[in-house]
Amino acid sequence: MPAPAAGIARAGVAVRLAEDRTLAGVGDEFVDLADDAVVSVAHPVHLDVRAWSEVFADYEILQPFRQLARDVQALAAQELSSTRLARYDDRKALTVKLLALERRGWRRSGQDGGHQGRIERDLPGGATLIVDLDPGITMGAPTDNPQQSLHIWICPDGGDQWSRKHAVPFSTLDPTTASELLRDLNSCF
């Protein structure tokens, strides 16, 4: 067996554990990690999914969870410069599905007299994705309003969460965060 090609992996290199317990890249090349390397599960937005899927198929590698087949979403060009997501205008989200987002790190907020008018999610860097709901969720009787209209915007870190005046464009989201947020929101229709 020839000696593996030496090379220290740089940030953002995708690897798999090979049969001999070394790390291999998508082309089966040997990859050596630096001692202080941070290893994480790659999101498919950062992978050549077709190439990695072929490797997994060739070696009959079973994934313990959906990774390569994970649904990837992207913001459209006009959405990147916008401060709201117009793709959800004129659509009605199901209240019960919006409530289910709490299992994925979302939270209800905007309480006023037993009524909750929004759900939100913290973003990297301290900003908050805010989803204003119309007509909102009645506490204690969430099915009173089975459908919600959505107005989605990003409040910057330290910004006024009650005014959309200082909303920031969706281009501030990295592709992974955008994909996961859109995936969550799309599950509500």
Q: Is the peptide bond before 146 cis (omega within 30 degrees of 0)?
A: no
Q: pLDDT tens across 50-108, in order?
A: 999 999 999 999 998 889 999 999 999 999 999 999 999 989 999 999 999 999 999 99
pLDDT of 170 reads: 98
> Does position 9 have pLDDT exceeding 60, yes or no?
no
| Confidence band, pLDDT 50/70/90 cuts, at residue 6 | very low
pLDDT at 10: 45
pLDDT of residue 61: 93
Q: What does the pLDDT read at residue 138?
A: 93
| Closest to 148 measured CA to CA, from 74, 96, 79, 112 | 96
Q: Residue 110 pLDDT more than 90?
A: no
Q: What is the pLDDT of residues 125-136, one digit of tens each?
A: 999 999 999 999
Biggest CA-to-CA distance, the chain: 72
Secondary structure letter of residue 128 according to DSSP: E
